[in-house]
Structures are given as structure tokens and as C-alpha cells.
Structure 1
């Protein structure tokens, strides 16, 4: 399956994008005679089908590393914190874990250990390359469907990566200030040397929403290949985008569109507890809509990832997630093995459980408590032991919202979503969260109103692009 979707074509421009996402290293890259310049629809589709390849994987190493490290979902046990390696590959991860003033030191990134900034702009420039190439092709009637789907996929990938970058490197969306808040550079062409300024947060969101809406008109409803985007994936992402923007009416609308295509949830009563209980690559999981995984950063892999015991206790004994998501090692640490990718790689794609929770939250905020309860109960009915589950009933809006938000944290654990949830929820004092960590005996705290909920740009991006740095 994985080999089927590895792209077979590279050209100098693509290879350029692998180096430091607009940093200086790409200027030193030399041409390779084995590289082939893409010229057909199949060539461009192959670029986007490079799903899991080591060189520029399109469905791997998503821009979620800093968000996963910075959120309140896991901890590095004190016993192993002092053993964390040093060097450019690792220092920025340790800095992020402590939310320090300076994260990047300069020199991070590249093909082997890319930063979130690198991977996001690599894919954006690839998407632009595909869009430009397709624009020079007039498809034959028999090629129209393939041309449409390839263009739709490129638009989706560009929107996806801009959204991910905005959650890390730009202020949270605020309708009152979005037109003035600095977002990220909007690159709309494949030339990595083009000088582009930081656009406003409002302009960034307008572009990615326009891309997704255009993609919907081009993509198929579903696809047996879950490494490829579809209408359903675009609707799921739009629901996430509008939730981030506090537009609950549109979030509920697009979530409903997504669920209408296929709304089957996985019954956890039928899943066997094993080292990795969910289907490998997510392809046989009915909930998975679009496959994406995070970079396997050392800070949240192996012995360095432990789930806080007080959070683990939020899972009731009748909750099947308690055994399917976690195991306790011989030292008493709670380890996570519930990735929807079916391996140690963290799933950061799109899945129906998130969509149900998005619609439930949107409904409760709109005052539609019955609809919110229906969605929440539909999810939990497939998460609890059949004989133990009783439908939730409440007419208290705040109480129901609190339960839905807790279920988001429990259900969507370590998918890269928690950081963006924290940012949007911090806009309201009732749902704001201060995060505390004990690092080598010293307590550090990230306040809900801290500017450190916005990560700094890498040093190379600042030096080469001339961008204003985010205040810390």
C-alpha cells in the first residue's frame, strides 16, 4: 500500500523545497541528472501521492511538532528528562517543552530532522508547483476527472498546511483583530526565492477557506485511498477551521456535510487490546477520513512520552479507551499506544470522531442541546462497554459544554489538535487553561494569556525572509 503512493518524479525545484523551507541551504543544492521534470497530469499526481516516502513525504511529518510538545497532554518523566540528548536536532524540542523565550538557535531543520516551518512550506510550494503545472495542461475529455482531482488535492494540501502553520506561528483567530494581526507568509507560486511578506491572519484564513471550497468542487466524495484528500476531508477540515474562528453555524454545517458522506464510527467493543489496537496506516479504520502523521520527534516518543496520571484517571473503568489507548509500564508510567495510524507514529489526520465532537460543541454553543447530546452520546456509545453505557441527559448548557470539551481532550489525545483547542479556548476566561510543568525540580507555567502560545519563526526564516519575529 505504501509503495503504491510514493512519487516517482522529482525535479530541482522540488528538491530545493526540501532544504530549510526558504532558508539559505537550498541555494547550495546542485542539480541531479536523474531528476525528471513533471509534464503530465500523472506526473503531478505522483508528486502529491508521495504519501510516506523518506524524501518529502506529503502525508507524514505534519506541522504539529511544537504544538504536541507544548500542549498539556503528556509529560517527560523527571527520571528521563536529564537524559535527553543535546544538539540542534534536540535542543529546540527541549526548549519547546519548557516554553522558553528562545526556541530555535539557528541551523535546525533539513531533510532528516525538519522543523514545522520547513515541512509546511515544502508542501505549500509543492502544491503551488502542481497548480502551476496543471494550469499549463488542457486535459482531454478522458483526462478531465484526473485533472480535477489532482488540482483539488493540491488546493487541499495548500490549505491544510497553511492552517497548521497558523496554529503555531500566528495569533489565534480573533475577528476583531484578524485584519491587523500578523499571520504567515502567503506563497502562491512555486519559486522559493520570491520575497513574500507576512500576510494578515484574516487574509491567511480567507485564502485557505477559498482553497478548500474550490477543492470541494473538484474532489470525489470519498476515496478508498485514505492518503488522498476528498470532499469529505475538505468538509472535515472546514469544520475545524470554522470552529477555530468561533463560527459555530458553519462549523456545524460542514461537519454535517462530512458525516452525511459516511458517518460510521468504530465500535471499540469490537477492538482487541494489543500493542497497537487500531488498523495499521488507518486505512481499514472506518473513522479515518484522511491519513496524516506527525514527525516522530524524540520529545514525545519512547520513554520520553508519559501521560499524566491525573489525566489518565479521567477515563472511567467502563471506558474502553482506558485500555485501548494506554498501557502501564513496569515503572508505573502510563504510555500511549492509541494512534489511529496503528503504530508508534502519532496520527494527525482527519477522522469522524473529531467531526462528531466539533458538531456537538457547535450545537451546544448555538443552544441546540438536544442535537449536541445526540452527537456526544453517539460517540460515547461506541467508546464505553455496551452493558455500562447510559445516555447522558442534561439541560444545563455550561455543564454539557464542559463535558464535550473534556471528551475532545480525551478522544483526540496526541493528534496535534489540543494546542489549537487551547488557543481558541483561552479567548474566554471560563475555558482558559494555564499549563504547569515540573522540569528538573522547577515549576514552569504557561499562562493562558501568554504570547508564548505563538511560537517564534526559525532563525533562517527571519534572516533570509526579513520577517518580523513573533514577540515572546
Structure 2
């Protein structure tokens, strides 16, 4: 059965009206998607991006240049940076690229899943295309539910408001918002359905591999605190790809980025390429200022900090604030900030081991990573006396390894459900400017700010989509 759907049309499916309906697909190109191989190739989507500008400052790892805050009319960035709960944010988030694009991608995956069986070609290729689309659909739903809803809590997930599940290609679909539990169940089913058909070595890095799918499965289980299942999935993922890019050797023996460029998608520890802004996003790294707290956490002998960050440009940061910005051109080294990579799988494995009480095993995994990251000094850390101390080390390693992107935001949310690991983020600001009084801003673990409101344009189009916070609609 021939489907007159074009690749160009897929890329034009923007602003779907949230959960209310898909927009019409208007074939405007000439390359028809009509056989199984076409659908399989449609899964590969280079330059897939997830802008995080609506919530990037709700963490302890990011910082803002003082001229972008002091005297500036309040906006969503300043509200989040100052942890201000006194303002209803809905009117400030008039739209969201993150929300829109996530559902655009889901629409793409649903099209493949719904239509590939009716196409011409090899049944094995059809099954592969459908499986890859399902695991990417699971990934996008996972991102959405962890931004716009509460963190998963087994005691309340069945009644906590989640997001809209988009599970089929249907131009007239009008799904309602599902609970957090329902969304997680959907995600897990998609992953489990996909695993038997995926490949260890896909056609290109933009097709999801078995290592990626098992890593995503591990992350979903970890966020649900299903530790045994998460650990098993980590082991499965590492069985397909256990490479760690050796930044120590790269820095000390290969000359680093100026001598030996490592560009996307040539980093062997990356499991599936996707971006915050796009392939060349690290060109804009100077806008991503890390906090003095994170800089202090790196210390002076960490290859990740020493190679990638700049602390001296007054154009991009406030000298004296002890902050830093990412400064390596993307054609020299692409450091992945979104998606999944082997080092996160190792750190998830370490967390599972620590939670199960195997502190020595957990630290062995952490130290395996540190040997590829720490240049000198205390490279191999001793085994702490308690689980809490071990977990603190793992959490801090996650901060250093998974900087930028959305991982710290999601980690704070999930860890805040546990009193043992919940963190009150405290920010003193400004640090350099002396013309305005310094203030202390506090983000409590229970803050409503951790749940991002659905964008205003989506809420207006779909009155059935209700907020997951107690904020008020401006209409």
C-alpha cells in the first residue's frame, strides 16, 4: 500500500497543538516513503535537538552572567535562577521548543510504527524499523514526563498528573493526559517490545542500538527505583558497548582537541546521538556557564574541566565569580550533553551496586571511570564506610560526567523523593557586582518549580490539558 508521505513533510510537522491533535501532513517534496527500507531510513534523524531554555537554571550546576540578571525585566530564566515561587510561570512560557519538538519526533516515530507494516519490502526490515521507532518514542516520552510532571514515586504515581501519551499515527487523535504511572508503563512496554528486534551495530549512529535500548531501560528502572532490574539492564548494555573514551591519554599523549579532533559522531562511548541545539551546539558553549559549586567539584586535576572549560574571558562570564564556560569548538571535540553514553551506564551500575550495599563493587566501577578522567592526585578513591558517602561520590561523578544538558535537573528531581539524598539548593548572588545587595536564593526539594508548566500556547489549544502544578492560568 503506497503512502504519499514525504520526508520533508515530516520535518514540517511543527506545533501539533499539544495533546489535542496532530496537524495535517502536506506532501511537499518528491521523495516518497513507500517501502520498508524507506521507513527504516526515516528513523535516522541527524540533528535531533531538545532545547532546555525553559528549565536549565533549576539546578546547582548552571550559572548566569550578572548582567543578564541584574536590572533585567523578570523572565523565565531569572525566575528560575532566583528560585522564585511567587510568580505563576505559565504566562512566561508562551511556547516551548522542547515540548513541541519532542512531540514532533513522537509523531515521526508513530508514523513509522503505524504505516511500515503496510509498506512493500522485507518483513525483517519492517520489524527493525518499528522497533527502533518504538525505543525512540519511549525516549521522548521519558523526557517529557520528567520535565512536565512529578518525579516517579511509587506511592503516588498512579494519581500524579503526567503527560499525554501519543501512541498512534492518527490525524484526529485527541488523547487525554495520563498519569505518571501510565506513562512509565507505556515507556517500559515500548522498550520491551523493541528489544528482540534491535541490532548491536545499526546502520549509523542515529539509529538506536541494543546498547542504547538497554541503557534506556536501565534508566527507566533506576528512576522507578527498581534497582535489580536497572542493574541487570546496565550489564546488558555494557555487554554491547563498554568503551570509555580515555580523556587522560587524549590530553597527555594525543595532544587534545587542537591536535586530534573528535567530532560527532566519532566518540565511541556515545550510544545514540542527539543534541541540545544541534550538531554544532558547542559553538555556543560560552552561553552555558557552570556554577562556582560545580567548578569547585571538578577541582584542578580533572581532564573534563581542564580541557573543555575557560575561566578567563570577561566577555562571557564575571571574573571573580569562580564560574566557567564550555569553550571548545565543535569541530575540535564534541562532548555529548544529551542522550545516553556508556559512562552514564557505568554510573547507573555503580548506583545500583551502592543501593544494594555492595560499596566495594560500586567504587570499583567509579574508579574505572576516574582512571580515564582524572589526571593526577587521588585518582583511585577508597571505599567509604557508608552507603550515603558512596552515593554522594556517585552523584557528584554524575554531575561532572553529565554536565550541561538536562541530566542534573532530572537527577535532582528523582533524588529529592528520598530524604537521604534530597538537596536544598542554595545560591548566593551576585558575587561580583557591589552595587546591589547580595541575596540568598533557596530551592527546596519539594518546590513546585521542579514541575515545568505546559506551554501557554498548548494549554490554550487544549482545555483538557491541565497543569501539574498549583499555578494559575492567565485566561
Equivalent in the alignment of 2:33? 38
> Aligned to 1:289, what secondary structure does the other structure show?
strand
**Aligned positions of 1:378-457 closer than 5 A:** 378-385=368-375, 389-437=379-427, 438=429, 442-457=439-454
After the TM superposition, which of the residue ranges 213-222 and 158-167 deviates more from structure 2? 213-222
Q: Hey, what's the Cα distance between the residues in 2 that align with 1:339 and 1:375?
A: 31
Contact 2:354 2:387 in 1 (8 A): yes
> Aligned to 2:40, what secondary structure does the other structure show?
helix
Cα separation, partners in 2 of 1:251 and 1:377, compared to 1, 3 Å? same
Q: Hey, what's the Cα distance between the residues in 2 that align with 1:150 and 1:286?
A: 23
Contact 2:263 2:334 in 1 (8 A): no
Cα separation, partners in 2 of 1:208 and 1:30, compared to 1, 3 Å? closer
Give me the TM-score of the superposition, normalised by structure 2: 0.83
Q: Hey, what's the Cα distance between the residues in 1 that align with 2:20 and 2:441?
A: 35
**Aligned positions of 1:75-114 closer than 5 A:** 75-81=63-69, 91-99=75-83, 101-105=87-91, 108-109=94-95
Residue from 352, 356, 359 that aligns with 1:362: 352
Equivalent in the alignment of 2:61? 73
Cα separation, partners in 2 of 1:92 and 1:115, compared to 1, 3 Å? farther
**Aligned positions of 1:21-420 closer than 5 A:** 21-22=17-18, 31=26, 33-34=28-29, 37-52=32-47, 60-62=48-50, 64-81=52-69, 91-99=75-83, 101-105=87-91, 108-109=94-95, 115-137=97-119, 139=121, 143-223=122-202, 225-272=204-251, 273-274=256-257, 279-281=262-264, 283-295=265-277, 301=284, 303-331=286-314, 332=319, 333-337=323-327, 347-385=337-375, 389-420=379-410
**1:310 offset after TM fit, Å?**
3.2
Cα separation, partners in 2 of 1:301 and 1:135, compared to 1, 3 Å? same
**1:25 offset after TM fit, Å?**
11
Unmatched segments (≥5 aa) in structure 2: 431-435
Deviations 1:186-214 (A, max 9, x none): 11122354211101111100111111111
Cα separation, partners in 2 of 1:104 and 1:408, compared to 1, 3 Å? same
Equivalent in the alignment of 2:433? none
Deviations 1:118-177 (A, max 9, x none): 0111111111111111132364xxx23322221111001110000000111111101111
Cα separation, partners in 2 of 1:276 and 1:198, compared to 1, 3 Å? farther
Contact 2:109 2:134 in 1 (8 A): yes
Cα separation, partners in 2 of 1:165 and 1:338, compared to 1, 3 Å? farther
> Aligned to 2:49, what secondary structure does the other structure show?
coil
Q: Hey, what's the Cα distance between the residues in 2 that align with 1:431 and 1:338?
A: 33
After the TM superposition, which of the residue ranges 392-401 and 228-237 deviates more from structure 2? 392-401
Deviations 1:326-347 (A, max 9, x none): 2222333511247999668862
Contact 1:339 1:347 in 2 (8 A): no
**1:377 offset after TM fit, Å?**
1.2
Cα separation, partners in 2 of 1:344 and 1:468, compared to 1, 3 Å? same
> Aligned to 1:428, what secondary structure does the other structure show?
coil
Unmatched segments (≥5 aa) in structure 1: 1-7, 53-59
> Aligned to 1:246, what secondary structure does the other structure show?
coil
After the TM superposition, which of the residue ranges 32-41 and 187-196 deviates more from structure 2? 32-41
Equivalent in the alignment of 2:468? 470
**1:63 offset after TM fit, Å?**
6.0
Give me the TM-score of the superposition, normalised by structure 1: 0.84
Cα separation, partners in 2 of 1:30 and 1:247, compared to 1, 3 Å? closer
What root-mean-square deviation, in Å, do the aligned CA atoms of Structure 1 and Structure 2 show? 3.3
Contact 1:293 1:345 in 2 (8 A): no
Q: Hey, what's the Cα distance between the residues in 2 that align with 1:167 and 1:416?
A: 10
Q: Hey, what's the Cα distance between the residues in 1 that align with 2:191 and 2:369?
A: 26
How many residues are matched?
443
**1:357 offset after TM fit, Å?**
0.5
Contact 1:232 1:258 in 2 (8 A): yes
> Aligned to 1:194, what secondary structure does the other structure show?
coil
